[in-house]
Structures are given as structure tokens and as C-alpha cells.
A and B are shown apart, each in its own frame.
Chain A
Amino acid sequence: MKRFFSLNSSAKRRPSRRGPVVNASTLRHAFDRRAFVIGGMQYGVGILLAGRMAYLAIAENEKYRLASESNRVNLTLIPPRRGWIMDRNGAPLASNRADFRVDVIPERLADPEKTIDEIGALLALEPTRIADIKSKLEGARGFAAVEVASGLNYEQFAALSVRLPDMQGVLPQRGFSRYYPTASSVGHLIGYVGPASAEEYELDRNPILITPGHKIGKDGLEKQFEQRLRGTPGARRVEVTAGGRVLRDLESREDIQGDPVKLTIDGPLQDYAARRIGLESGSVVVMDCQTGDLLCMASMPSFDPNSFSDGIGSAEYAMLREDQRVPLRNKVLKGLYPPGSTVKPMHCMAFLKAGISPQETISCAGGRRIGNRFFNCWSNHGTVDMAKAIYQSCDSYFYHYAQQIGFDKVAEMAKDLGMGQEFELPVTSQFYGTVPDPDWKLNKFDREWEPFDTVNASIGQGYYLASPLQLAVMSARLATGKRLNPRLILNSEAPSPPDYNFDADEITYIRKAMSDVVNGPGTAGRGRLPLDDVKMAGKTGTAQVVSLSVSDGRSGPWKYRDHGLFTFFAPTENPRYAGAVVIEHGGGSGAAYPIARDVMTFMFDPQKGMDALTSLERQWGGTAQQRLDQRYAAYAAERGAEVRPPPRRDEDIFDQVEAEARVAAEQTQEIGETFVAPRPTANPSGTPPPDAVTPSTGIQSSNPAAAPTTTPSGPQASGAN
């Protein structure tokens, strides 16, 4: 416009200033001039448009061609099938099964609430599940897919697919989902999978992490071996409309399945042990005495990794949180307990090394005077030598000799045999417990070591804390005299653990005494294996968590009851397997050693072991998984609507569990501030906690004898891989 005026004004202004010299001729001239200028302006616009178009089409052609291609072509990553996690015999502990699933992309939803309601109605989802999805959507990052449901059948999938044109941002797809055949039995060991969180995507900007349907390891071995299990995503290039409708496939590349991880775990044994724990809260560890292979690391009660992998539901989470048996805690690694009398054989080894002859005796008069104070034994044992001290678990003997050689030496032996140690294992975390000694006490509490500390520690009480894994390692090292290290991943190289400098005589002596605990005049007579050719040796332990004045350890509030412990190995003469059983608040060792007995029976004679379990599970109301499912159904029906949702990040859940486990361990140590007077019973046991009672919803007849066959029931759906 400017050019127009500047061209014109000089010509026009002169006449108008001079006055109204306007006639037909000047108007005609003005018209011609101005029409000419307008024409010129139109040409100008035309040239501008042509130039602009040439610029777009030639100079920026490359850029816009790319933009057009990226509009047209959509690259979809196909989540790779995850590598299997297998037991030592190649049976899957974690596999994949083909299924149909549906995700939503939050940023593409026009009306999230309405869409979720529609999908919920279509798939008949539970109201709690719908509420969970909505709350998850609120906190979700726009681009990352949120799982709505998985494991759909074909009819549901088809019903949803038909309605897709009206549902922007809803992605039904065929894929593979993680499947754990033995479910809760391997929950703590294997962990579970879930969609990557925002933080995980920040750390690893791999586009596969935000691909709908792709899940990564969230806990346990799934997390530890994430990179190895992940595999290589496949890809599909498709032509899509602006609305997201796929017109045709351009090319596609198959995914490459992740590498498998082979564990030392014996799948059937793991499942058996987990189920055998029954209504109690505890853990069972079994090690191979030649290689250190961990055959079983069961921690119960547990969560169902299948259900966690679908997303942790509010009701499910609340139920697990409220259970005082802490089903979210992996007790094998993060349960710390006073080892109680189970350390006595190991302490005896320390005495032997300090030059105490096994034949030396003391007199137990229902206790022993140490310094100027009398400390009770749990019973009056009369004259006691080393063997009797072990099989009768005489406390006085240990008070006396620990005081005599000094607890430093005992602690040294304890640490050498694995107490207070961490092991090289592919686990997210493990607690190392405490072997108390004067230095440690001074450091921690700024107090001097007192004689009663030696007394407490000599019988595995007081500040002493150990995890079930450490107890199993101690048991295996003591039984073999070899520095066995636990291992979890099976590889070809057979470890050759170095010997301790134990004499064969010493080892034989301790083995014999421990055998007598079970097979002789010892404290665990009912622990004898129901087998003719194999004998089990062991040591009972009852760990007090509060002083005698608070509780008798067997009745009263569950959390005040004694822990029941048992370390064992079998066969007695040439140990092949060793292990430990710890039952939290089981009321005493009587709760622990029958489990060890049945687990070892199963090891040598699976049928006999299974029979024992079957009859027990009939009383309990089904297998562990069946009881968990029933409890959940009852809980969701009763409380489902009013529960608080779980933390947004899965990491928070387990951080919280770990923090609580540390606090629990600290609390256990509080008892060490005074002398812990032993219980006056040999191997007591209490009743399971009220939490464990399964609601009788009538489902319990559903074949509790679902045996953990020698190969765990394989993936059930078609196309599993």
C-alpha cells in the first residue's frame, strides 16, 4: 500500500492544494492513474505469492517433504518379547504369553473420564480398577501409555476395536505379557514388570520405554537383569491418517527376544517351600553344599507378580500393606532376626579353634554365674559337654565358654562363616545384620561391652541379627568346612570353594551333635525325615523379640511372639544340601523345623513331601496362591471402595518397605540392652497370626493339591515364548 501512495501523492497533491479544480477530465486521469497503480499492486501481490510459493517449494522443499513423510509414515515399535527366567532345569519361572491388551495415550484423549468409563463398561472392569486407572491418568505424563487392561479375550478385543473410530487415544493391541507360572511363590525372588516411570525414561531415553505395552523390570531379578532380558524391539512402518487410522503396512521388522537368565533355583522346590510356609510368615533358604547354588529362596506371604505386572491395584496394595506379615518384604534378604540358638554349633567351632576340648564339661544348674551375676539357662541340664550343649541347646555352656575365650574370637568366627556379611548376588539389596562385639557396641551406642552382652550374644540373642540367607550360608559352611558362596545365576564354571582350616574331626563332631538334635536326644525330635536312608542334621533356635516380662513368646499379640528358626543340612554324613528356615513370630523353633523337615523330604522324595503338603493345604484352605486370591476377593468386596491408592512410583513402594524393614530390625535390637532370659521350653510354637486366616468363601475345594510338578506348569496361553 505504501508504494501505491508514494507513487501517487506527488501527482495528486498539487491540484487539490490549488483548489477544487475537479472536472471530468481530471477524474478520468485520476481513475487511470489509480487503476494503473491498483493493477501494479495486484501484480506485486502476484509476484509476492509466486515468490513465496517458489521459496516453499524449492528452498524449503526438503524440510517440508520430510514433514510430510513424517506425517504420513508412522513408525511403531513392537515391544520385544522378554527373555525367560528359568530355573536350573530350564523350566520357566517367568515367561511370556500372547494376549490382547488395551492402553490409552493420555494426551490424545479428548475426555479421559468418559473414555475410561466407556472402556470399563465394555470390558466389564471392576469399579476399583476403573478408579485406579483414572487416578493413574491424572498423574500420567501425556505421551506415555497407561495400561487399562491386559489379558483380554478375543471377543473383548474385537468389541473394543470396532468402536475405535470414536475413541481417540485408545490403543488395543496384540502383544505378549509377562507370565509367572508359580505366581506368588517367586514374587520376591523374580520381582515383576511394569511400564517405565518418567524418571526411568529420563535416565534412559530409549523410545521403547514409552512404547505402549512395553514393560521393564521393577523389582528383583527382573530389574537386575533388565538389559539382558529386554531384547531388541521390532518395528512397523505404517501409513496413517491424521486421525490415526492405519491404512497399510509399509515394512516391518520382527523383534528379537531378550536373552534368558538361568537361575540356580530349583523351581519345584521353591514353589514347594513357599507353599509349605503355609499360614505363617517366614522364609526358607536351601543351598547346594558343593557349589553354593541357591536352590530355594522362598519368602512368604508374598505378592502375585502376575497381578503386579498388570499394575498394582489400590485394593490389592492396601490389603498387602495392612497385613502385619509384611507380604511386600523379601524376608530372605531383608528380614533380620536374632539367630538365637542356631549359632551355637558355629560358636562351638569357635571354642574348638580356641582350644577348648569337646570333652570339657561344665555344670548347668539352671543357669550359670558369670562375674557376679547369675544368668538363667532355659532348663537345668546337669553336666554338659559340647555335644550335649548343642543337642540340648544348653545356654549355660555358651555363657561360660564365650566368657572364657572372649566374645571377640566368637565374633570373628561368626563373620568368617558369613554372619554380618553381604554376598555377591544380583539382588536389589540385602541386609547384612549385626555380629555384636565391643567395638561395634562402642561405635553404635557409645557404651562399654558388659558381661551380659557376652551372655546374650553367646546364645545368638541381644544385638545379634542375621538374615535367613546368612543362616543358610553359615549352616552350609559349617557342615562342609568350605568357604561356600551363595550364587543365584547358573553358569558352566563349577565353583571350587577353598577349605576353612577345620579338622575333619571337628567337623564330624559338630555334624554328629547337630544330627543328634534331630535324630538323637535333641530338641527337634519331630524333625526326623520320614526316609530310611537320609538323615537331616540341624539346630533349633528361638529368638525372643521382647523380654520375658512382656510376653511368654507363644501367646498374646502376634508381634511379641518369638521367632522360630532352624538351620539344617542333609544328609548328615556327607552334606549335600544345607539351609535355614525362619518363621517370624512363629512362637518358637517348633514352628520352623517341621517346615525344614518337609522341604528336605521333598528334596529326596518329592512324592512323600507332596503328600505331607497336600494334607496341610487342605486344612489351610488351598495353596498359597489360592488363599491370596480368596483373601483379595474378600478384601476387595469389603473394603475395595475406601482404600488409599498406592504410591505413584513403584520405587516408592519398595523404598518404603525397605525403610520399614530397617526400622523393624533396629527395634529387634532394642532387646539387647539387658540380659535376654531364655524361654523355659525346648521348641515351642504358636498359632499363625490372625491375618493368615483365609475367608471361607467356598472356593477352597479347588484342588489344593495343584502340585509343583518337576517342571512348573508351563505357560498356558497359545504362542507363549
Chain B
Amino acid sequence: MSAPAETTEAPAPARASEPRGAPLLSVAGVKTYYGKIIALKGVDLEVNEGEIVTLIGANGAGKSTLMMTICGSPQAREGRIVFDGRDITRMATHDIMRLRIAQSPEGRRIFARMTVYENLQMGAAIDGNAHFDADLERMFELFPRLKERINQRGGTLSGGEQQMLAIARALMSRPRLLLLDEPSLGLAPLVVRQIFEVIRDLNASEGLTVFLVEQNAYHALKLAHRGYVLVNGLITLSGTGRELLERPEVKAAYLEGGR
């Protein structure tokens, strides 16, 4: 809303990776409750177009809640979430997703009894088959393993393959903002590196904007342009990825033995 003119001049997802003036996503003073329990106590953060932004925090800090609040489920009780100049705070989840925010949710949540192909097709649900075949080929390039598994049931994939599928499914909608919730959860270090490399490549080559929620602080901050630290529902620290990695409190809380 702050700069409505911006919306018209953002035609394609392919953008230079240099940060721009107005943020693509801005979260301001967001408070989210589960019943009477407050989970987010007024969170402010911004994600600029072409950036990778990482949010780190301990278990129960509210990382996934923040991600789900951006998606409108649950909705924020106070505060404002603005995406690309539009207030999405009170929008229904499926309408938010149609603005080309894609999410790879916590726990992957692939469709276990449907094949890899059908999963990817569900990812393209919002605009059908308009560019399905081309995108499918692109996913095969990004994740060659998925091509091998294409007619296999999602639930029979390994954890790493499921995570690749979850990311690929999210990418099938050609998102302007990709939300990734703990993509490294339960995966072997080698697979984590692979997945993070894909994210870095996508950002570098296509300017994909990524908002990453992670517990694996070291890798996530190394990958990120900027980062935030969430503690008990409040942002306590922010800065570039490298700055945060150097901060003693981050080192103490999230990096000791974590690398």
C-alpha cells in the first residue's frame, strides 16, 4: 500500500537479485494467538524482492506460526501483512496463494497416495496446465531424482526426495515468493546441502525471493542475504546473514555444536 505504483512495474518473477526499495513482503506488528495463548507478540520483518531471508529460532519460538500466519491460517489478530502492495492479513489462504506466494510447509505434507506427477500437478493447480509441461521439465533439471520417481507414489519416496518434491510442488505455481519451512528437517547433511544449493541457484539465476525458516542456523544463515532471530514470539536480532553468524548470542544459542 505504501507504494502502489510498484505493483504495476513488477511483471515477471525473473528479476535481478539486487534488493529494491519497497519490500515484497512486509510483516508489521503481527500478533497471532492460539485461542488465548499468544504465539507471536508483535513481529516485524521485511523480505525484499530477490532476497533470501532466513528466520532462525528455537523450538516453540513461533517460526512456523509466523509462516502460517503469512499464509492466513491462522490469521493474525493484530498487525498487518502486506504482499506486493496488497494487504493480505484478512485474506483466505487459497486467495493469498493465488497472489503467487508458494509454501513448502513444515513436515513437507506431500500427497502420500498420489504419484510424484500428480503431486506436481496439484502444485500447478492455480493456473492449470498453462505452462505445466515446461515447468515440469524445469523441475526435472533442478531435481533429477524426481524424474526417476515420477510415477511413484509420494509416500514411497525417501525423506530427501519428499522434501525435493515439496519444493518442486511449490515452484510449480511460478511463485514470486517462496516460503520454506524447515526444509532440512530430518535430512542427511549431504541432502541438506543439495537442497540449499538448489535454493541458492534459483535465487541467483531467476531472482526468486525466498523466505526460509530454519533450525539449521549455520547453513541457513550462510545461504541468506539477511536474517532474523525469533525468540518467544518476538524478533530479537536482525542483520545480514554474515553479521548474525558472527554475533556471540547467535553463536551461543544456535551454533554451538550445530555446525
Q: Do A and B bind each other?
A: no
Seen from chain B, the residues whose Cβ lies within 8 Å of a Cβ on chain A are none
